[in-house]
Chains A and B, each alone.
Chain A
């Protein structure tokens, strides 16, 4: 079989996957809290066509054997967690994060957690008629609640009816009403130390894959001036996809795709020549 065809085919597959990745990023250029997905290429397995000792001629530079590569593949997709621009919305349930941190949400009733940079939260009525702070899809936001005895537990933010929500830069949530203000809890924020171990799942959430200890990937953090982390109420973090950069890389990949297609048609011509050796 024609090695050129296999090589060009495998690299076109890889380039197609990369194009799909650009399409994903460009589609999410307006998604709040979206983080750009990136990947690279690496060359595939090579094999050595063995050569006998007689091939060790003078002037030969490399060890015996003819080395042949079989194309390229796309490497694992990682997420680029650089800061996106903040846009003011004025809504009291919109939050943006500054610095290297994530919100934590209760992903399901089983207690699994997920993480997000998308701070477009909502107030949702639960079964008991409580007003709780959730994501757009109704998943409650994890907060640290300190009770009267000073014990801190993880729970949901419940906003008393008739109160307005005020959130400080360190994530402390206040319920403000005409009767005064009460502390409802502090939004739990996590600093990411192993961003490559986070997997992007649906609905703009990130999760830690099963079998991995989440504490090794993310650590609870309290926003401060020193660590540069802050919660901004009334703002939303925009997607960190840079349209110009995406388009430039798209052109590079598309041209590589074209060139690989040329290699296929060229090796097709060669196979035609072999077939028509005796016309």
Chain B
């Protein structure tokens, strides 16, 4: 049996998934608060090959073999995106660089201690509520205020305040007349407070699952999500949005790499086909 035929086929499917993931990153290079994703591949479980039907052979072991690869998970890269000034009072951007007891994080936001303990850098998010009442987290701070005065995301979810209720401006108060202070409170020129943005701290951002429309759902225990009041390495800026963190050059290269790797797998299948051709039409010829 030619095992490699199916191995190459699994390679084709994996590269297709990788290509799909990179295409989705490219599609979102202008989406505020978007976090680029990487497709992580994983080998099939290893098999131990042994000789069979031999006698008096001291060592029948041949070696280990994996017979394929699959796209295991799509990992978001929780890097800070660049801020872009929009001058729109209902646009907000989070600058998040939360420190954890003196640990230094690598570019991917991870710290591995000497004894192997892995700590991920916590990330800050706006807290929003969807129409069905579910709590979601987002970095896309491009909000709008319609006639009812409620601060909403572009898909109509309400932006939650520190008291757990949606932020609603009273009639006649325009968001343009309010500024955001260091405690994430919306205050007017006289110092009156019209709501406080609920900024949530997520200790392990990998437990967030992308939910569409820039939302993330937290898969862990909701009690682990804490509200950030002030400082703690998180700054919220009004009149800015956080741009997508997708690196265009990297995406252009990744898409070529995925396509060529797909092609290489296709070639391998063709070579196996040639071997089968020989086996069937030449070796088997009478």
Contact = CB atoms under 8 A, between A and B. Distances in A.
B248 A259 contact: yes
Interface string A72-92: 100110101010000000000
Instruction: Identify which of A10, A48, A191, A263 gathers the most chain B CB atoms within 10 Å of its CB.
Output: A263
A72 B27 contact: yes
B174 A193 contact: yes
Contacts of B241: 40
Interface string A56-80: 0100111101111111100110101
B75 A43 contact: no
Contacts of B73: 60-62, 66-67
A43 B212 contact: yes
Nearest to A219: B172
Contact of B212 (A45, A57, A255): A45
Contacts of B207: 62-63
B266 A60 contact: no
A274 B266 contact: yes
Interface in A1-32: 2-4, 7-8, 10-11, 15, 18
B19 A43 contact: no
Secondary structure class of chain B's binding surface, majority of residues: mixed
A277 B31 contact: no
Contacts of A192: 174
B146 A7 contact: no
A13 to B, nearest CB: 10
A256 B34 CA distance: 15
A11 B27 contact: yes
Interface string A231-275: 000000000000000000000110110011011001101100110
Contacts, number: 193
Interface string A190-206: 01111111000000000
A69 B22 CA distance: 10
Interface residues of B, number: 65
Contact of B252 (A2, A45, A215, A259): A259
Nearest to B31: A41
Instruction: Identify which of B74, B219, B248 gathers the most chain A CB atoms within 10 Å of its CB.
Output: B74
A62 B259 contact: no
Interface in B103-121: none
Interface string A107-150: 00000000000000000000000000000000000000000000
A80 to B, nearest CB: 7
A50 interface: no
Instruction: Identify which of B28, B86, B155, B251 gathers the most chain A CB atoms within 10 Å of its CB.
Output: B28
Interface in B67-100: 71-75, 86-88, 90
A270 to B, nearest CB: 5
B105 to A, nearest CB: 15
B209 A43 contact: no
A43 B32 CA distance: 9
Interface of B: 12, 16-17, 19-24, 26-32, 34, 37, 42, 71-75, 86-88, 90, 140, 142, 144-149, 154-155, 171-174, 176, 206-207, 209-214, 219, 241, 248, 251-252, 255-256, 259, 262-263, 266, 269-270, 273
6 contacts: A38-B88, A40-B32, A48-B209, A55-B72, A72-B27, A215-B171
Given A72-B28, A193-B173, 12 more contacts: A8-B23, A38-B86, A38-B88, A42-B154, A42-B214, A43-B31, A70-B24, A75-B154, A192-B174, A263-B22, A266-B19, A270-B262
Nearest first, the 5 A-B pairs at minimum CB distance are A11-B27, A75-B154, A193-B174, A69-B24, A4-B23
